[in-house]
Amino acid sequence: MARIVTVTPNPAVDTTYRVAHHTVGETLRVASVERRAGGKGVNVARVLRTLERDVVVVAPLGGDAGRWMRRQLAAEGVAVRPTAGRGETRTTVTVVDDVSHPTVLAEPGPPFDPRAWESLRTEVGRSALPGAWVVVAGSSPAGAPASAVAALVAVARSRGARVLVDVSGPSLAAAAAAGADIVKANAAEVCDATGARSIDAAMSQLSAHGATVVVSRGAEGMIARAPDGTLIRRGAVPGASGNPTGAGDAATAGLVAALDDDLPLDTAVAWAAVAGAAAVRHPLAGAVDLDALLLLAARAGIDVDGLLVAPSPVRRPS
């Protein structure tokens, strides 16, 4: 059984097109194409594997695309527990050049199916271990109610697992109310989820049920609010430029890896910032190069050994 479970409710085949210059309305010649199994939870798991963490992906994988994703993840050494998926697993296309911000075209994927979601919830319950982490990350199928993510939080918590949720919209607020230990999003998403006009007010609302709130702010770094109101601010890591797609997923991986080692919140936020910066330097979304991560950590003055030590054993259910 894995120490960390990542849950991807709406996985995707991630396709990255690199072009010389992305111009709307013109025929573009693609210099290179990369296809990878993706979705936020899958990207989190991939970075955790780079950090040599014991992790398993739980995701609904349907059709030929879903079978392809299973083979790709197995080839990468990422364990996966597929659940029943209705319809074909979606595709996302990212167009990258060296001039402007990448353009992402994200298919909606199969619509919400209560039976498929129940299969996902059941597998989360089977996979969660007492004291370990369950990470729910990414979009939900079209038509899914906010209560669907809350149900994943509830079943993981009922197994004694700790839960980190990185989603957007009403599902973020529902996850916090359902007892998530950590809720993570960017500044716009926390305000959108709560209707608050400021980050401080949004974080206060989300932490009302006991959640720690972590907010990524791009070039301004990260901020976290503990349930007791303590604020932790971390500036952006210098020396990071490139493709920001998937940087938030790498940040989530750095955060949960540090928390799984029972490192303090300020150290975990620092590692989240470093992992996100390392992902920006990688040409593919949701991936980090370990050498780059260690270099950026050194620049940020972070103790490398603090994250790369072997995790302690987790208590197995009786």
Domain parsing of the chain, residue ranges: 4-303
**Is 249 tagged catalytic?**
yes
Q: What is the pLDDT of residue 287?
A: 73
Q: What is the fold, at CATH topology level, of the domain defined by 4-303? A: UDP-N-acetylmuramoyl-L-alanine:D-glutamate ligase (3.40.1190)
Q: How many CA atoms lie within 13 A of 187 on its CB side?
A: 11
Which range, 92-101, 140-149, 280-289, has the best average confidence (pLDDT)? 140-149
Determine contact, residues 7/136, Cβ cutoff 8 Å: yes
Which positions ≥6 away from 110 have C-beta within 8 Å? 62, 85, 86, 87, 88, 89, 90, 116, 141
Determine contact, residues 177/150, Cβ cutoff 8 Å: yes
* Integer CA distances (angstroms), 147 to 20, 67, 155, 273, in order: 43, 29, 12, 30
Identify residue 252 by its one-letter amino acid code: T
Determine contact, residues 111/99, Cβ cutoff 8 Å: no
Q: Identify the active-site residue in 249, 266, 289, 291.
A: 249
Starting at the edge strand found earlier in the chain, the sheet holding 212-216 runs 79-83, 55-60, 4-7, 133-137, 162-166, 182-186, 212-216, 222-225, 231-234
pLDDT in tens, 108-155: 999 999 999 999 999 999 999 999 999 999 999 999 999 999 999 999
Q: What is the pLDDT of residue 258?
A: 92
pTM: 0.89
Q: What is the pLDDT of residue 241?
A: 58
Q: What is the mean pLDDT of residues 30-50?
A: 93
pLDDT at 61 over 70: yes
The CA dihedral of 240, 243, 246, 252, to the nearest 10 degrees, is 0
Q: What is the pLDDT of residue 314?
A: 39
